[in-house]
Amino acid sequence: MAEASSVKNGSVLKDIRMDGKTVLITGANTGIGYETAKDLSSRGAKVIMAGRDAGKVEKAMKEIKSCDPKANLVGVELDLASMESIRKCADKIMETEAKLDVLINNAGIMSCPQWKTKDGFEMQLGVNHIGHFLFTNLLLDLIKRSSPSRIVILSSSGHTRGRMNWDDIMSEKKYNPFVVYCQSKLANILFARELSRKLEGTGVTCNSVHPGLVKTELGRHFMNKEGTWNTIKYYLVFPFVKMIFKTPEQGAQTSIYCAVAPELNQVSGKYFADCKIEEEAPAAKNDEDAKRLWELSLEWTGLTK
Ligand SMILES: NC(=O)c1ccc[n+]([C@@H]2O[C@H](COP(=O)([O-])OP(=O)(O)OC[C@H]3O[C@@H](n4cnc5c(N)ncnc54)[C@H](OP(=O)(O)O)[C@@H]3O)[C@@H](O)[C@H]2O)c1
């Protein structure tokens, strides 16, 4: 399929500017989030880099500034495994920012041991979906006031292997780390779908993204003996798999595309990979499941709408 007009050789054209725009990226201290922050700030955007470790965020900001001293960066602390931290961070943004043109829900955790968030949710669903659900909703008035504005949600092609396990949604009875990751990435698309439906007519779009297979720290729990792969498999197989991986800069292109491409001004509720609309799995197009997940997420987070 031909490349979109804003893309050349897999990269988003550098002359698309973001001057005067404010962007917030979760998990911006490393990997795809870091490269997205670096790119969008080079286009003139003010980039709010959110991360759970203030030291790591500070270091990442310094690195970007060392390449681009004019980069307009703000660091904020956000632990998506804690509703207290999420509310504190959202309150700060609402107090200090006059607008928010783009929110990129990028942070993620994959195949960790059977951990729980501070509020008792299964960690992968808790961070990847529930934390972002709460954060997005707390910022929604500001995003709507900034319309036309965009929300970009990082999912994964792993969603095709996911299913919403409604009978054991927190995976308490059975915990397979990768299956649980895939459920959380399916939840990302169902959330984007329902949010985009609710945002019709507001000028706010919401799309989801598969970044590709990208060489980042996401596989960090594979090395953990409680994770999916054992150490032997990791060292024997992973070096070969890694050869086909994208660099983080390449992996950031679809997020960047969804944040900046002028041809996407009115495009919402879609799933993107390689800077193109892709067909998501049938389970990700189930509107009943999207509504059910929304209602449950309201209960989990104590939100009323
Ligand atoms: N890499 C791939 O091949 C791939 C493929 C498909 C989808 N994705 C998706 O792409 C997104 C970015 O992943 P990546 O590959 O760049 O992974 P990464 O290098 O591991 O970066 C993940 C980011 O999320 C942050 N994070 C983790 N738990 C958090 C929490 N509780 N609160 C706040 N931030 C938290 C991490 O912070 P710390 O550094 O402090 O841990 C880090 O900044 C994820 O949503 C992932 O599911 C990646």
Check: CB of residue 192 under 8 Å from CB of residue 208.
yes
Give 49 Cα–ligand 1 centroid separation in angstroms. Answer: 13
Whole-angstrom Cα distance, residue 198 to residue 200? 6
Q: Which atom of ligand 1 lies closest to the CA of 127?
A: 31
Q: Are 43 and 262 in contact (CB under 8 A)?
A: no
Alpha-carbon distance 183 to 169, whole Å? 9
CA–CA distances in Å: residue 135 to residues 106, 128, 148, 262: 12, 11, 19, 26
Catalytic residue set: 181
Q: Which residue has the tokens 């989030």?
A: 33
Compute the distance between CA of residue 284 and CA of residue 124 in angstroms, rounded to an integer: 18
Check residue 258 and give its pLDDT: 98
Tell me, using a 6 A CB cutoff, whether residue 81 lines ligand 1.
Answer: yes
CA within 13 Å, CB half, 203: 11
Which conformational region is residue 126 in: left (phi greater than 0), alpha (psi within -120 to 50 degrees), or beta? Answer: alpha
pLDDT value for 227 = 45
Pocket test for ligand 1, best of 47, 109, 119 (most atoms within 8 A of CB): 109
Task: Measure 50 CA to ligand 1 centroid, in angstroms.
Answer: 12
Q: Classify strands 11-12 and 276-278 as parallel, antiparallel or unpaired.
A: unpaired
DSSP string, 152-184: EEE--GGGGG----GGGTT--S---HHHHHHHH
Specify the pLDDT at position 233: 61
CB neighbour class for 161 (10 Å; exposed up to 12, middle 13-18, buried from 19): middle
In this prediction, residue 79 carries a pLDDT of 98
Domain regions of the chain by residue span: 7-297
At 51, list the tokens. Answer: 């991360």
The count of other CB atoms within 10 Å of the CB of residue 37 is 30
pLDDT averaged per 10 residues in sequence order, the chain, 305 residues: 86 98 98 98 98 98 98 98 98 98 98 97 98 98 98 98 98 96 98 98 98 93 58 63 87 98 97 98 98 98 91
For residue 305, the model assigns a pLDDT of 75
Give the CATH superfamily of 7-297. NAD(P)-binding Rossmann-like Domain (3.40.50.720)
